[in-house]
Amino acid sequence: MLVLGIESSCDETGVAVVEATGPGVPVLRAHALHSQVDMHQAYGGVVPELASRDHIRRVLPLAQDVLARSGCALPDIDVVAYTRGPGLAGALLVGAGVACALGAALGKPVLGVHHLEGHLLSPFLSRDPPEFPFVALLVSGGHTQLMQVDGVGRYALLGETIDDAAGEAFDKSAKLLGLGYPGGPALSRLAEQGDPEAFKLPRPLLHSGDLDFSFAGLKTAVLTQAKKLGDGLEARKADLAAATEAAIVDVLVRKSLAALDASGLQRIVVAGGVGANRRLRAQLDAACGRRGVRVHYPELALCTDNGAMIAMAAAMRLQAGVQEAQPLYAFDVKPRWPLQELAAA
Ligand code: ATP
Ligand code: MG
Ligand code: FE
């Protein structure tokens, strides 16, 4: 079974072909990605209308490229998958419209995928795929959640952020430090030259006794420090970046360990853009190594949004029999769609 997947929920257009044969983990044949980051940079954030229009320009050339590199033609595709939500309505509609048009033209069924399920299952695309059950730390630009994952479509929320997401905390702090947008990767690079102990920044909800997160106060603390430094900020920027990264990572690691304790599981999967963060990987590996807990990550290139994770999630849902692809000629998107509402059957 060949699944063509299309991602267009925000500012990345992604297309991929995944092949599922038998009960084995589906395999990525090829994927292609266009990031709109350069286009949105001038505005300091994603401009929804520009995003939708760019998805329209990119999606078909990307699909042609992926098909060529997959060694297959459009009629070989068995199912067309697309990101149904959550995300920007206009951007989602581009991927959904193209997927359903392809499905109708080819006479093939289509399947709408939950974007976060895509992130969640993206480590199955790695050379070291996990096995169920596991704890998942989902850390992206819009979400920060700890989940217990017992199988495809079987997700129990253990805790989540009550305000900003971890990626948002990276991006907003980076913006305060003048590092552009999205500044997470830039802040992380600068942090490598700084001293994480140079400033004392808050670790909100660290001892709250539950598995929830809060990052909004951290950004205010960074702003306060930056103001206090005034003209001296430039010389201490790397230190402040390092302290910010350390505060975020510290909370993510400690809550992940608490989630492992609460669930009694010995395996954790990290997914979403912040999963690319080197400090997070190093600290989590060290802490889990001491406990004999296995940690799985997506490939670095597949931490942020991509089409491969959407094709993969669709293939795994079909393989597990939790969903059937539909011959759809009408479709919808769900800009707001909590993962807990994703029915297993
Ligand atoms: P969502 O999936 O919740 O809708 P999103 O799709 O925008 O949000 P992702 O693409 O998964 O999120 O991740 C983007 C986020 O990851 C951004 O906030 C970005 O700053 C952050 N990020 C990417 N690389 C790194 C890194 N090395 N260190 C820290 N943050 C990073
Ligand atoms: Mg993005
Ligand atoms: Fe995402």
Contacts of 50 (CB under 8 A, 6+ apart): 36, 39, 40
In tens, the pLDDT along 195-208 reads 999 999 999 999 99
The count of other CB atoms within 10 Å of the CB of residue 334 is 19
Q: Is 119 annotated as a binding-site member?
A: yes
Give the number of C-alpha atoms closer than 13 A to the C-alpha of residue 54, restricted to the C-beta side: 22
CA torsion 245→246→251→253, rounded to 10°?
Answer: 100
Q: State how far the Cα of 286 lies from the Cα of 54, in Å rounded to an integer.
A: 41
Q: Is 107 annotated as a binding-site member?
A: no
Query: Which of 170, 251, 279 most suits a substitution to test ligand 1, by most atoms within 8 Å of the C-beta?
Result: 170
The residue whose CA has the least distance to atom 27 of ligand 1 is: 277
pLDDT class of 180 with cuts at 50, 70, 90: confident
The residue whose CA has the least distance to atom 19 of ligand 1 is: 184
Helix-, strand-, coil-residue percentages of the chain, each rounded to 5? 50, 20, 35
Residue 56 pLDDT exceeds 90: yes
Strand partners, 241: none
> Ligand 1, closest atom to CA 168?
18
What is the Å distance from ligand 2's center to 261 Cα?
32
Q: Is 138 annotated as a binding-site member?
A: yes
Nearest to 153 by CA among 27, 317, 42, 271: 317
In this prediction, the answer to ipTM > 0.85 reads yes
Instruction: Give 133's DSSP letter.
Output: S
In tens, the pLDDT along 251-262 reads 999 999 999 999
Amino acid at site 66: V
Q: State how far the Cα of 41 lies from the Cα of 45, in Å rounded to an integer.
A: 6
pTM: 0.95
What is the Å distance from ligand 2's center to 273 Cα?
8
What is the Å distance from ligand 1's center to 152 Cα?
23
E-only strand ranges, 96-205: 110-114, 134-139, 144-151, 154-160
Q: Which residues of 129-147 are buried (b: 16+ CB within 10 A; e: fewer)?
A: ebeebbbbbbbbbbbbbbb
What is the Å distance from ligand 3's center to 117 Cα?
10
**Which residues have beta carbons under 5 A from ligand 3 (an ion)?**
140, 305
Cis previous bond, 196, omega within 30: no
The residue whose CA has the least distance to atom 2 of ligand 1 is: 140
143 lines ligand 1 (CB under 6 A): yes
pLDDT class of 343 with cuts at 50, 70, 90: low
> Ligand 1, closest atom to CA 174?
20
> Ligand 1, closest atom to CA 304?
10
Mean pLDDT of 288-312: 97
Structural domains of the chain, ranges and CATH numbers in brackets = 2-121+302-341 (3.30.420.40), 131-297 (3.30.420.40)
Tokens (6 digits) for 4: 């063509």
Residue 344 pLDDT exceeds 60: no
What is the overall mean pLDDT for the chain? Answer: 96
Least confidently predicted of 67-71, 176-180, 211-215:
176-180
Q: Note whether 158 and 147 are within 8 A (CB).
A: yes
Tokens (6 digits) for 68: 């060529």
Q: Tell me, what's the pLDDT at 126?
A: 96
Residue 329 pLDDT exceeds 80: no
Coil vs helix vs strand at 307: helix
What is the Å distance from ligand 1's center to 183 Cα?
9
Q: State how far the Cα of 59 lies from the Cα of 307, in Å rounded to an integer.
A: 11
